[in-house]
Structure 1
Amino acid sequence: MKKNILILFLAFYCIKAFPQQTQLILKTEKDIVLNTDKFAMVLSIEENKDVNTIYLGKKLKDEKEYRKINGQYKQAHDYTNMYQSAYTASGTRNLLEPAISVEHADGNQALDLKYVDHKIEDKSPNQKHVVVTLKDQVYPFFVELHYLTNVKENVIEQWAVIKHQEKKAVKLVKYASANISVKGSDFYLRNYHGDWIAEMQPETQKLTHGIKTLDSKLGSRTNLFQTSYFALSIDNPIAENEGTVLLGGLDWSGNFRVDFEKDPQENVRIIAGINNYASHYSLAPNKEFVTPRFTFTLSTQGLGQGSRNLHEWARNSRLLDGNGERLTLLNNWESTYFDFDEKKISHLLENTKKLGVDLFLLDDGWFGNKYPRNADTSALGDWEVNKKKLPNGIFSIVKEAKKTGVEFGIWVEPEMVSPKSELYEKHPKWVVKQPARDEYYFRNQLVLDLSNPEVQDFIFNMMDKLFTDNPGLAYVKWDCNAVIYNAYSAYQKDQNNFYTDYTFGLYKVLERFRAKYPKVPMMLCSGGGGRVDYGSLKYFTEYWPSDNTDPYDRIFIQYENSLFFPAIASANHITTFGNQDIKFKVDVAGMGKMGFDLNLEELHDEELKFAQEAVKNYNLYKDIVWHGDLYRFANPRETNHASLGYVSKDKSKAVMFNYLTKYTHVSKTTNPIKWDGLDANKNYKITEINLYKSGSYLQNDLVLSGDFLMKVGINPILENNRRSVVLLLEEVK
């Protein structure tokens, strides 16, 4: 008896004196393995019902061996047994950044989530949906962790559903979508900052202890300064074709927050979700709060394979009509700005046909009567056709376009209102602004309160009327130019809900629009690239990367966007911006969805002829760019040129874009550029296209094997008077 008491005393003493050792008493009850073709994410259900992420890496052949992983790590002690939590709650034993914090109906702020059960559903041969249900030990508060695996694309979508059965509302203080623990020796983060006309500026850093946060508090146009999309390299610095890299981001068009915390065990915890800045969400009993999805891929072959994973997933599962076609177009903005009438539009329709593109897009300036839209200072919200500019309405232009042999599209900015507008006069409570403070304008406008169902109805009805009044309307450019100042909603009872409900309201409008008009092509523009995310792209066929259309700058912006978004979604226009020749501008626009935004009358005959021929060439290779696989051969930030290639799925065709990015008299490509993604056993005829003012520098009837091109390469011969080269590869049988 005395011996047993002594043993119990010693055991108690060890636990009290060395609390860090208590982690050793926890045992794994079972594992939940989330598999894709190439990698696995493994959740463990511990004996005390904690749920942890114990592995993220290459898929093992034997799933039983996942249980042996933790035993191979001899890291610093986890005092809490929560460092690897799959969804870290705050207020009990957690010492690190939480994924969720709440204030219960009685004011208590503690939460301890324990495993209840999990379900696995095969949604298709390629998709498996896993739902893990957690519950607090004391309160009737529940969290469902959702994981959707896209097997072939090697992509996981993760989100949470939060609900409770307490007597009154619970305040969600923080409510992330994902909480991922990653093990490694070192971690290198590439994230992006920017501003208007300077989007997607990369920064790469080695993560140190503490928290690195990517976030936005702008309310709308939320990617203006930062994007939530990033690349995290594990163990080694970021490389294009080697190393383990996690690429992903939050699929959300509102305020976001992504935390990277290097914990005391030298691991990195990624916590991503809606930004809880000024947004402590009030959740009523028996209601569900569904977080946006955090989408990521894990590549063991560097950035390149990670990009191809995301592109394939986006085309198949997220981007609207991702495997379909796109319309090339001519936009009137730089031809006319606000100054146009029916005669000018008629002439531009003829130019659209003459150029050989599919569609004419009428940009800003077509609406408003009491306050005509003759500048960006009035009329937003008054979506009625300006009778002076277009006395016969939009439908007459749609009919004329059809008669000319082209389609017709139109620009709108539905979320915004001009202080000088009839809408503002009639419905001041629909506007986001503080009731007793000065109004602050961003680009001479304010934002409508999309958290208000009446405003949602107004915007949907406006869009619906545009299409019912104008049958045959074929395209929409949806713009969003302002951020939210003086955030206040006359509709919301709890102002903490505003920022989040604004974005939910936007999605409700887009859901309604797409339910009635599922196939209308629509460009997502937000003062340029201010809203480029997969939360919005499920409703749009393409996005506008930047208002900066100087082709030199666009090379860099488009290159960085290509890490996350497929070329079919990138709207690239040839404009008057930049002092480069027409060839360089066309060649840069070719690595995406091509469009024109210039006055054909200002082109010389030789330039016009080249542009017409370039459109024909684009029609030959656009399918490869839109639906093929992207390979980046040369990063313009690391050398004097950029080089990218797109390869068709059957590897029978490919197209290569090459641009000189440092202009000096001696700058050139001295060495061949190695290809990737071709079939080593195929032979390819190589033809230079988009020739302008001179012939090709390449040998006539040049045929090279895929083996040669991938091991030796080809020199496009870039130099100061030959700044862009496009090569078309076709299999020779």
Structure 2
Amino acid sequence: MMRHLLCAAMGLALAGNSLEAAENQVIRISTNHTDLVLQVAENGRLYQTYLGEKLLHEADLKELDWAVHAASDGSVCKRGWEVYGGSGNEDFFEPALAVTHNDGNASTWLYYVSSSVKEVEGGTQTDIVLRDDAYPVEVTLHYVAYPEEDVIKTWSEIVHQEKKPVYLSAYASTMLYFNRGSYYLTEFTGDWAKEAQMSTGQLQPGKKIVDTKLGSRAAMHASPFFMVGLDQPASENQGDVLMGTLGWTGNFRFTFEVDNVGNLRIIPSVNPYASVYPLERGEVFTTPEFVFTYSAEGTGKGSRNLQDWMRKYQLKNGTGDRMTLLNNWENTAFNFNQELLAELMREAKDLGVDLFLLDDGWFGNKYPRKDDKAGLGDWEATQDKLPGGVPALIESAKQAGVKFGIWIEPEMVNPKSELFEKHPDWAIHYPNRERYYYRNQLVLDLSNPEVQDYVCGVVDKLMKENPELAYFKWDCNSPITNIYSPYLKERQGRLYIDHVRGVYNVMKRIHANYPDVTMMLCSGGGARCDYEALKYFDEFWCSDDTDPVERAYIQWGFSHFFPAKAMCAHVTSWNRASSVKFRTDMASMCKLGFDIGLDELSQDELAYCRAAVANWNRLKPAILEGSQYRLVSPYESNHMAVNYVSEDKASAVLFAYDIHPRYQEKLLAVRMQGLDPEKMYLVKEINLMPDASSSLKADGKVYSGDYLMKVGLDVFGFQQMQSRVIEFVAQ
């Protein structure tokens, strides 16, 4: 009990700090519209005193109280919102950090040591050092605030100097607190072909956990991002909302805990499941970056904050161009040869896209890749299918006048492969149990540096032999099964973490060697979509489900955290009941591509697709670089509408979709957002079928931005799966 009654002076003395220097010190982490305020309390520990809209007066910061709830026994040690609470102290709720020390003691009490501030690209970084008073354990908290984008990025570093390893069983990136009347969590969950499905529920007293234990292809069931509506469910254009995402492509865990007095703590973290981590003396454990924005104007403003920030500071080539493409998978699957691919490249040129992408099925000789049961790991072109290898394909692409890209899945191996025969110890699998498989494959052990070298070598060999290779689609189709690392042996608690570190190490090396090669991040669809991996990838594949109706929900969900230029969407033959126009218009609201046999299109449909590609290219300044406004949700109506506005507000585009309207239902005008109210805009419906004329009453007319935003346009109809694309040009 004496430990729970330490007075402030004793706490500071034990921590080795100066009372005069540290007591009541306020640390303000600010953007243009948000304040995160921390305070060193009388007991020498660091607490959050505020997170919300920016406070206008500096003097008000001193009025914020670190103590939100006194100890129930009336002692002088008050319980507050500790910024990085350790296990075993007087707080009764979920900790950020749990350490078992050399002597078996599982408590950690962190005291403030110092803080510093420095300028970084786009913002200001604050670093705060905390130290245990009884053990040589130190934690450094890092915060980077980006004023213009209203985004804060935070992570932590844990290190110790104990004689033997300590064991970490919790290691959060940060902790955030709120004191509101109610809290509403919006999750993004799903499965293969139904990614990023949104659902909202009120958080009740106790803990709500959103996590994954899949290891690889980790976001297959739960996405690494969330929204919390404060006092009301998150809404598009009004209300307070926190939107956060963790940059980690492996097991993650979000903990949302409402305590006994109705306060909420949010803890984003690597999932410690099967990952009690032995931390060596002097080794620095760095947690993933947690990126969040606080919006007082709903999720629309929060999304634009994150999209803008991501383009500028996170996404590979975030301010650069994107290529349209034609993929062969939905057209041919595994059944192709060199001559057929050359013909498809000529079709790509005729369509007007920039690149031809060869998907799965091009490799393996002893075990040719005829299906998904063999060949993974043997990255040599199949000789009887592709006698000229990849060089001949690149030459055919050059002759056709398009660039060439290729599919790889270098983190995986089929047991039926030359690689597995030679290096079975490179795959994650049990040494003494019957193996079980997901999609007939195993995950290579990227905790092993030798395996990392091999994976990098797959790309190196392709690039050295084919320096004009312009694009990689990097897939990851299996979770980790048979969970044992032959490399780590007795250190299995490191597997899930060191494997992901190995994945990132590979990504960093490839990016450093080939920064100009475009990379698509794929994982059996959208099961890899984290901000950290997208430092090294230009875009990601949202879903294998390309049914345009289903894509409405998938793309709507992902758009809350990703800019359009990061989200790949292809026109395919999924849902043949829908028109080619509807499928193309749905894909056009993201990064446009095609994965369809052009010979199955009529001449009018092909002409339409050519025109749609040209229109999309012309509208890149709005779609790829502009601001996105979600206008009508498919979750709340039988329609969907999204508009984009260029940075200079000189051009805009509206995508409007009738999904499954009811018979003679009431149709409401769609009001644009983000236009200049003083500008006059010419309204023109585009993406029309040949010889079709627009039925839009506003077509060809000029309206003020003010009118378009306050009155709007009648763009919806009663027909199933119909769409309109409308361009606005400032006069």
1:437 corresponds to which letter in structure 2? R
- In structure 2, the partner of 1:505 is 502
Q: How do 1:649-660 and structure 2 match up within 5 A? A: 649-660=647-658
2:702 corresponds to which letter in structure 1? V
Partner SS state of residue 282, structure 2: coil
Does 1:98 find its partner at 2:99?
no
For structure 2, which runs of at least 5 residues remain unmatched after alignment? Answer: 6-10, 12-19
What is the aligned-residue RMSD (CA, Å)? 2.1
Equivalenced residue count is 712
Partner SS state of residue 296, structure 1: strand
Asked if the contact 1:75/1:265 (under 8 Å) is kept, the reply is no
- In structure 2, the partner of 1:40 is 35
Deviations 1:203-228 (A, max 9, x none): 11111100011100000011111012
Asked if the contact 1:176/1:274 (under 8 Å) is kept, the reply is yes
- In structure 2, the partner of 1:49 is 44
Asked if the contact 2:429/2:485 (under 8 Å) is kept, the reply is yes
- In structure 1, the partner of 2:208 is 212
1:56 corresponds to which letter in structure 2? L
Separation in 2, partners of 1:81, 1:165: 30
- 1:675 corresponds to which of 663, 672, 676: 672
Separation in 2, partners of 1:585, 1:142: 54
Does 1:267 find its partner at 2:263?
yes
Does 1:713 find its partner at 2:712?
yes
Q: Which moved more, 1:312-321 or 1:604-613?
A: 604-613
Separation in 2, partners of 1:640, 1:239: 18
Stretches of 4+ moved more than 4 A in 1?
71-80
Residues 395, 94 of structure 1: CA spacing in aligned structure 2 closer, same or farther, 3 A cutoff? Answer: same
Residues 212, 76 of structure 1: CA spacing in aligned structure 2 closer, same or farther, 3 A cutoff? Answer: farther
- In structure 2, the partner of 1:473 is 469
Deviation at 1:664, TM superposition (A): 4.4
Asked if the contact 1:231/1:248 (under 8 Å) is kept, the reply is yes
- 1:59 corresponds to which of 38, 49, 54: 54
- In structure 1, the partner of 2:622 is 624
- 2:353 corresponds to which of 350, 353, 357: 357
- 2:82 corresponds to which of 75, 79, 85: 85
Asked if the contact 2:66/2:81 (under 8 Å) is kept, the reply is no
- In structure 2, the partner of 1:311 is 307
1:702 corresponds to which letter in structure 2? K
Asked if the contact 1:105/1:167 (under 8 Å) is kept, the reply is yes
Does 1:698 find its partner at 2:693?
no
Deviation at 1:585, TM superposition (A): 0.4
2:703 corresponds to which letter in structure 1? L
Deviation at 1:606, TM superposition (A): 1.3
Does 1:286 find its partner at 2:285?
no
Separation in 1, partners of 2:66, 2:335: 71
Does 1:408 find its partner at 2:404?
yes
- In structure 2, the partner of 1:392 is 388
Does 1:562 find its partner at 2:559?
yes
- 1:529 corresponds to which of 526, 529, 550: 526
Partner SS state of residue 268, structure 1: strand
Separation in 2, partners of 1:59, 1:612: 49
Residues 476, 49 of structure 1: CA spacing in aligned structure 2 closer, same or farther, 3 A cutoff? Answer: same
For structure 1, which runs of at least 5 residues remain unmatched after alignment? Answer: 1-11, 17-21
Deviation at 1:690, TM superposition (A): 0.6
Does 1:540 find its partner at 2:537?
yes
Asked if the contact 2:681/2:728 (under 8 Å) is kept, the reply is yes
Separation in 1, partners of 2:714, 2:66: 51
Separation in 1, partners of 2:601, 2:673: 38
Asked if the contact 1:647/1:653 (under 8 Å) is kept, the reply is yes
Partner SS state of residue 565, structure 1: coil
Partner SS state of residue 502, structure 2: helix
Residues 181, 664 of structure 1: CA spacing in aligned structure 2 closer, same or farther, 3 A cutoff? Answer: closer
Separation in 2, partners of 1:256, 1:456: 22
Deviation at 1:167, TM superposition (A): 0.5
Asked if the contact 1:89/1:101 (under 8 Å) is kept, the reply is yes
Asked if the contact 2:70/2:79 (under 8 Å) is kept, the reply is no
Deviation at 1:605, TM superposition (A): 1.2
- In structure 1, the partner of 2:570 is 573
- 1:298 corresponds to which of 289, 294, 297: 294
1:490 corresponds to which letter in structure 2? P
1:704 corresponds to which letter in structure 2? Y
Does 1:607 find its partner at 2:605?
yes
Separation in 2, partners of 1:273, 1:478: 26
- In structure 1, the partner of 2:17 is none
Deviations 1:325-367 (A, max 9, x none): 0110000111111111111011011101010000000000110
Deviation at 1:400, TM superposition (A): 2.0
Q: How do 1:373-392 and structure 2 match up within 5 A? A: 373-392=369-388
Asked if the contact 1:83/1:96 (under 8 Å) is kept, the reply is no
Asked if the contact 1:182/1:268 (under 8 Å) is kept, the reply is yes
Deviation at 1:92, TM superposition (A): 2.5
Separation in 2, partners of 1:534, 1:71: 32
Deviation at 1:403, TM superposition (A): 2.2
Asked if the contact 1:113/1:134 (under 8 Å) is kept, the reply is yes
- In structure 2, the partner of 1:322 is 318
- In structure 2, the partner of 1:434 is 430
Deviation at 1:719, TM superposition (A): 2.5
2:673 corresponds to which letter in structure 1? D
Deviation at 1:237, TM superposition (A): 2.4
Deviations 1:157-180 (A, max 9, x none): 010000011111111111110111
Separation in 2, partners of 1:58, 1:75: 26
Taking only the aligned residue pairs, the percentage that are identical comes to 45
Separation in 2, partners of 1:665, 1:606: 29
Separation in 1, partners of 2:177, 2:337: 59
- In structure 2, the partner of 1:729 is 728
- In structure 2, the partner of 1:8 is none
Residues 312, 75 of structure 1: CA spacing in aligned structure 2 closer, same or farther, 3 A cutoff? Answer: farther
Deviation at 1:47, TM superposition (A): 1.6
Separation in 2, partners of 1:454, 1:81: 52
Asked if the contact 1:418/1:424 (under 8 Å) is kept, the reply is yes
Separation in 2, partners of 1:65, 1:246: 23
Partner SS state of residue 424, structure 1: helix
- 2:646 corresponds to which of 616, 624, 648: 648
Does 1:200 find its partner at 2:196?
yes
Separation in 1, partners of 2:411, 2:270: 20
Deviations 1:376-420 (A, max 9, x none): 100000011111111111012112211221000000001100010
Separation in 2, partners of 1:448, 1:135: 38
Separation in 2, partners of 1:151, 1:71: 25
Asked if the contact 1:718/1:725 (under 8 Å) is kept, the reply is no
Q: Which moved more, 1:67-76 or 1:411-420?
A: 67-76
Deviation at 1:236, TM superposition (A): 2.2
Partner SS state of residue 457, structure 2: helix
- In structure 2, the partner of 1:136 is 132
Residues 111, 75 of structure 1: CA spacing in aligned structure 2 closer, same or farther, 3 A cutoff? Answer: closer
Partner SS state of residue 537, structure 1: helix
Q: Which moved more, 1:183-192 or 1:285-294?
A: 183-192
Asked if the contact 1:323/1:627 (under 8 Å) is kept, the reply is yes
Separation in 2, partners of 1:76, 1:104: 27
- 1:191 corresponds to which of 170, 180, 187: 187
Partner SS state of residue 583, structure 1: helix
- In structure 2, the partner of 1:172 is 168
Asked if the contact 2:48/2:66 (under 8 Å) is kept, the reply is no
Asked if the contact 2:659/2:720 (under 8 Å) is kept, the reply is no
2:500 corresponds to which letter in structure 1? T
Deviation at 1:245, TM superposition (A): 0.5
Separation in 1, partners of 2:422, 2:174: 43
Deviations 1:692-720 (A, max 9, x none): 26311123421111111111111113220
1:629 corresponds to which letter in structure 2? S
Separation in 1, partners of 2:34, 2:89: 33
